[in-house]
Amino acid sequence: MYTSEGNIIQLIRNCLLGVLSSEDRHKLDVWLEEERENQLLFEKIKKELSLGSEVAVFNKLNDEEAWLQFKELRKRKSKLRIIRRMLWYAAVIMPLTLGVLWFWDVNFHEERESASGMESVIQPGVSKATLVAANGEVYELRKEVHQEEIKMGNGLVVKREEGNLIYDSTMIVEERTMINTLKIPRGGEFKITLSDGTRVYLNSATDLRYPMVFDQKERKVYLSGEAYFEVSKDESRPFYVVADDVVIRVYGTEFNVNTHLERGVQAVLLSGKVGICDKRHGDEIIMKPGELACGNRKDGEITLRKVDVRQYVAWKDGYFAFENETLEQIMSTLSLWYNVDVFFQAESVKKMIFTGYMKRYSEIDEILRAITDVVGVQFSINDRTIVVSK
């Protein structure tokens, strides 16, 4: 990066990571002394960033691309707006921890502008679900409940805690075939601990079917939507996730499965080893950590490729992670979490690309303003419908 502003962003990043040379330290000091705003910017970044030992959002980020976006922005924004966006891009190109804050409005909220008159009361999703028991009884689950027990037939008890449902492995054998269904609506999320100790994080618009107690030979659940699994190790009983026509076999690992995509089921493996196959073919493919498996909904073909898996699981920790994604993909994700409908006024808008990492619990207005600043599209909100235009 040859421009002075670009070099400054690089210097700030290296300084906060503790890898700044003495020569670069001098360059940074000179820049800090030039203007008071420079010092305020630097102090704000240092204050808000957490660069501890937590898991980074991303290690591989495109500095040049972020800088080109910033330069384009610089041509049409006031100096105060430039400083604010510089703060954003400094955040984008740094390998930050998942505890990092969304920088869109840091100390500049008094200057915030309304993008196309965009004002709404659309709030992010919350912990909520509907439990449909095998006997047909329905239970509405909400985060507000701190602890409660749900009794199901023959004295069976399921523990219900804040945003979590917990099944007990000591349930009587006669009830092992009872299948429950946990339904997560749009604008919701929930967690469940299955009878074997496996923990499942369920995203919006997701259904999970599972037995109250697994049998002695295998553990099998059925998924529609998106979920992150932390499977308890049990070599004598493989764990199966059936998602549409795809079957994933697990012995103890962590992975994410998503059936929302139009092209087919997508699975990302974080640790351990799993086998994945399409029921129409039956040939199992072994996945390794750091791999993404994509199933083709039409012909059943499964392909593997290496990815940075954190992009695909950031939602579990409360973040959106959009890496060179189209607006169509991004708005589809947002529509599920914020429970809104999206309308594009032009097909070309759907193909525009955006990269950004932000808090999942922010109001939707903040996220839309960020996209507007970077790619130049306009959003208007009418009740729970978002219209996207050039």
In a domain, 327, yes or no: yes
Q: Among 77, 112, 147, give the residue marking a domain's end.
A: 112
Least confident of 50-59, 110-119, 154-163, 276-285: 50-59
Distance CA 294, CA 266 (A): 5
Residue 17's pLDDT band, with cuts at 50, 70 and 90, is low
**Residue range 31-60: average pLDDT?**
59
Residue 24's pLDDT band, with cuts at 50, 70 and 90, is confident
Range picked from 29-38, 57-66, 243-252 for highest mean pLDDT: 243-252
Residue 121: what pLDDT? Answer: 73
Residue 155's pLDDT band, with cuts at 50, 70 and 90, is low
Residue 116: what pLDDT? Answer: 44
Residue 1: what pLDDT? Answer: 35
Q: In this structure, what DSSP letter does residue 231 have?
A: P
Task: Tell me the backbone φ, ψ of residue 69, rounded to 5 degrees.
Answer: -65, -40
Q: Among 112, 127, 143, give the residue marking a domain's end.
A: 112
Average pLDDT, the chain: 78
Least confident of 81-90, 99-108, 114-123, 245-254: 99-108
Q: What is the pLDDT of residues 364-374, one digit of tens each?
A: 988 898 888 88
**Residue range 129-141: average pLDDT?**
89
Q: What is the pLDDT of residues 158-212, one digit of tens each?
A: 888 778 888 876 665 455 568 999 999 999 999 999 989 999 999 999 999 999 8
Q: In this structure, what DSSP letter does residue 67 have?
A: H
Q: State which residues form the domain around 379.
A: 318-389
Residue 57's pLDDT band, with cuts at 50, 70 and 90, is very low
Residue 146: what pLDDT? Answer: 65
Number of domains within the chain: 2
Helix (H, G, I), strand (E, B) or coil at 390: coil
In a domain, 250, yes or no: no
Residue 47: what pLDDT? Answer: 56
Residue 53: what pLDDT? Answer: 32
Least confident of 115-119, 127-131, 163-167, 169-173: 115-119
Distance CA 349, CA 137 (A): 45
Range picked from 72-81, 92-101, 275-284 for highest mean pLDDT: 275-284
In a domain, 100, yes or no: yes
Two tokens, residue 283: 């040939």
User: CB neighbours of 362 closer than 8 A, spacing ≥ 6?
Assistant: 102, 104, 124
Helix (H, G, I), strand (E, B) or coil at 147: strand
Residue 19's pLDDT band, with cuts at 50, 70 and 90, is low
Distance CA 42, CA 28 (A): 10
In a domain, 123, yes or no: no
In a domain, 143, yes or no: no
Helix (H, G, I), strand (E, B) or coil at 76: coil
In a domain, 138, yes or no: no
36, with CB counted inside 10 A (0-12, 13-18, 19+), is exposed
Helix (H, G, I), strand (E, B) or coil at 133: coil
Distance CA 201, CA 312 (A): 13
Q: Among 112, 133, 151, give the residue marking a domain's end.
A: 112
Residue 169: what pLDDT? Answer: 65
Percent of the chain with pLDDT over 70: 72
pLDDT at residue 113 greater than cutoff 50:
no
Least confident of 27-31, 102-106, 133-137, 247-251: 102-106
Q: Taking the model in full, what pTM does it have? A: 0.72
pLDDT at residue 51 greater than cutoff 50:
no
Tell me the one-letter amino acid at 236: S
Residue 18: what pLDDT? Answer: 63
In a domain, 23, yes or no: yes
Least confident of 61-65, 305-309, 353-357: 61-65
Residue 366: what pLDDT? Answer: 86
In a domain, 340, yes or no: yes
Residue 254's pLDDT band, with cuts at 50, 70 and 90, is very high
Q: In this structure, what DSSP letter does residue 204 have?
A: S
Residue 52's pLDDT band, with cuts at 50, 70 and 90, is very low
